[in-house]
Amino acid sequence: MGRLFGTDGVRGVANMELTPELALGLGRAAGCILGGLGHGVIVGRDTRRSGRMLESALAAGLCSVGMEVWLAGIIPTPGLAYLATLPEFVAGAVISASHNPAPDNGIKFFDGDGLKLADATEEEIERAMDGDGARLVSSAGSRASALPRPTEVGIGRVGDRRDLADVYVGRLLSYAPPLTGMRVVLDCANGATFRVAPKIFHASGAEVRVYFDAPDGTNINAGCGSTDPRALQRAVTEERAAVGFAFDGDGDRVVVVDETGAIVDGDALIGILALDMRRRGELAGDVVVGTVTTNGGLEATLAREGVRLERTPVGDKHVFDGIVRHGASLGGETSGHVIIRRLSTTGDGILTALRLLTVLRERNVALSELARTVEIWPQVLRNVPASRRQEWEQVPSFKIAVDEMRKRLGDSGSVIVRPSGTEPVLRIYVEARSSKVASSSADELARKAEELLR
């Protein structure tokens, strides 16, 4: 079996790549590794049509090895991660493909601390799945007993815990500032935030306008949400709102729009939160964790304030590992995936929005003015469909083109090339002090990739 787990769980086209049979086997193996007989696991999902099908298959697999399965229903991924930390559960699972289109779906697990699984644990689950009736092999390499098949009272049961969504809502409300008199626009991406986000902002006193909160199973992320915030930009200006927030399909990231309808760069968002936390004495070690694609302007802004930026590979799991490794309290990605370690174990779009609103309320300034305090260098991303994307470094002519571009940009820019962990594309990032240079350089490399990596 090839490696199932990618950078964010197991993902693929539902019922073709991510099949019910695969979900069943994944449930059996993960159930044994994460808890086993008699232990509880909480399972949530987003709004995709395939969600119930995969939820049923995953739950059957978990029950078949004796786990008690509790269904949280539709809930944002960070909400499920929090629920996994409750005493009655040893683990959690969420069925979602995040920002991907509706035909895709995914399954990712959290341990009892609300953390995504370590690579070693994912590998252990895959070994347990390797072949029908496979035997478990521990991380130490010793052979253990076969996957169990209990009968009668040993078989796990499935129960309904949709009420637990309110526990997550209550937790977020405890971090919300008073928002009376503030007009806020929400784009819920027809995804997992469509119920909880409006409830939280209404309860905080905001004057809320909500868009894309009518999921039908096929419209998640379709012309809306963090991947397409154009409708939100128009709505913010039409509604004369102070700010707009576009969530992705599972709610772990957010794209922010200021009062003029302009998108606030994700790295500017991180910078605003970082400098506010430093002012409060909450920025542990005066360090912020970003990724290899984090904007050089953010790094320069933080450095002027005595804050160090540490970079990791792309992926929220890597960002979290970096936060732990450097003893940091904040980290994030340009995409709007922000982790505030004291408050959450994963990125949470709603929580990030609430923290930003806290800064706006206390500073009493427009968001556009606040965003200008963080320097952002022009950065261009090109997503190139390329069948040989995983081996791009082994294609000499393309590798030479990338190296030459890096030399040409020198200290005035950077180039990052990496295959996507969630989509069949090669991502090419080019950053430069000039937007014209960044764009033309990215286009040049994209043409090379299309020609050489087909």
Active site residues: 98
Which pair of structure tokens corresponds to residue 172? Answer: 């977020």
Identify the DSSP state of 151: -
The CA-atom distances, in angstroms, between 183 and each of 179, 238, 258, 295 are 8, 12, 12, 30
Helices (H), 178-335: 196-203, 230-239, 266-280, 296-304, 316-326
Please count the residues of the chain.
454
Q: Burial, 262: exposed, middle or buried (Cβ in 10 Å; 0-12, 13-18, 19+)?
A: middle
Residues 6+ apart with CB under 8 A from 40: 67, 68, 69, 70, 88, 89, 90
CA 418 – CA 393 distance, rounded (Å): 10
Whether 216 and 102 have beta carbons less than 8 Å apart is answered as: no
224: closest CA among 193, 195, 184?
A: 193
How many other β-carbons are positioned within 10 Å of the β-carbon of residue 196?
Answer: 21
Whether 392 and 399 have beta carbons less than 8 Å apart is answered as: yes
DSSP string, 392-408: GGG-HHHHHHHHHHHHH
